[in-house]
Amino acid sequence: MAMPGWADTWIGGALDAVFAPRCVACRKPTGPHRSGPVCAACWQSVQALSPPWCARCGEPSRTGLTASPGHCARCQAHPPHFDEARALGVYTGALRHIVHALKYRGHQSLGAPLGALLRDRGDDILSAADAVVPVPLHPWRHLQRGFNQADELARTLGPPVWRPLRRRRLGTPQAGLRGQDRLTNVRDAYRLRLAAYGQPPPKYVVLIDDVMTTGATLDACSRVLREAGVVWIGALTVARTVTLMPPPTSGGSPRPPLRAPRLWTPHR
């Protein structure tokens, strides 16, 4: 049998790219009934977060909570300016790849399904919100990326989107920093937009971002919102790093899998 020529190879690759797209997380074909760039297996592999967790920052722990008031040692020592934070899942595996696809690879369409999952998991926080506040990007980074991933998420959640914050200093990306460097990097990095001055703020707001690591960014934004007169501040993120929870053992109970977003349920 004759080997295919370069034209046949190019056409075959192009057809595969169009009709057999690959999952942005595992790089395997998404299947014939795809309704987005992530396969069902990767959605189901996400490590969803569940209690017990810190009543303040939401980090789960089997051993790091006190009996009262249920806060982790970090929040007891340095209470953040937000009141309650929750995240969809652990920033590892498939979820990490999904967040990276949204944030760095231009898969803007992932904002809708991730937002649907945030609505489901964060319903108790969102139900009382007067507005949701996306964590802003610096204008230069926004220009480079073409969109703000936090804004894409916020617009799918239901409550009105309030954009009172601006990032005044570019700084080093938080992803490349650790611990105290993260706190220093965002100190005084956020300000109120001019349009927000003199306007009565919503009383109950929920900050929206893609990933929470130490909480430094959310805390810096919350500090500005407090000074503006916001009474209660929640925070919702797609993912968070986990430092207090020990790795699961073979004899322990596995964390519940994440259901695929209903927005992407294949048609039957």
pLDDT at 19: 57
pLDDT at 61: 74
- Please list, in sequence order, all residues whose beta carbon lies within 8 angstroms of the beta carbon of residue 123, skipping any fewer than 6 positions away: none
Q: In this model, does residue 255 exceed pLDDT 90?
A: no
- In the chain, where are the structural domains located? 13-45, 50-247
For the chain, give the percent of residues with pLDDT over 70.
Answer: 72
pLDDT in tens, 105-144: 889 999 999 999 999 989 999 998 999 999 999 888 888 8
pLDDT at 189: 85
Q: How far apart are CA 202 and CA 131, in angstroms?
A: 7
The answer to whether residues 3 and 17 touch, using CB atoms and an 8 Å cutoff, is no
Q: In this model, does residue 235 exceed pLDDT 90?
A: yes
The average confidence (pLDDT) of the chain is 79
pLDDT at 64: 44
DSSP annotation of 36: S
pLDDT at 168: 87
Cis amide leading into 52 (omega within 30): yes
- Residue 184's pLDDT band (boundaries 50, 70, 90)? low
pLDDT at 35: 57
DSSP annotation of 173: -
Q: How far apart are CA 69 and CA 2, in angstroms?
A: 74
- Residue 169's pLDDT band (boundaries 50, 70, 90)? confident
- Residue 92's pLDDT band (boundaries 50, 70, 90)? very high
Mean pLDDT on 1-16? 44
pLDDT in tens, 45-79: 988 888 888 999 998 875 444 444 688 888 888 89
- 3-state SS assignment for residue 27: coil
- Residue 217's pLDDT band (boundaries 50, 70, 90)? very high
The amino acid at 108: Q
| Chain mean position to CA 94 | 13
pLDDT at 26: 92
Q: How far apart are CA 102 and CA 210, in angstroms?
A: 9
Which H, E and C letters describe 243-258, residue by residue? CCCCCCCCCCCCCCEC
- What CATH class has 50-247? alpha beta
pLDDT at 180: 55
For the chain, give the percent of residues with pLDDT over 90.
Answer: 46
Q: In this model, does residue 176 exceed pLDDT 60?
A: no
The amino acid at 234: G
Mean pLDDT on 78-93? 93
DSSP annotation of 138: P
Q: How far apart are CA 135 and CA 164, in angstroms?
A: 10
The answer to whether residues 59 and 218 touch, using CB atoms and an 8 Å cutoff, is no
Tokens (6 digits) for 193: 């937009």
- Please list, in sequence order, all residues whose beta carbon lies within 8 angstroms of the beta carbon of residue 247, skipping any fewer than 6 positions away: none
pLDDT at 62: 59
pLDDT at 34: 57
| Chain mean position to CA 54 | 18
Q: How far apart are CA 49 and CA 121, in angstroms?
A: 9
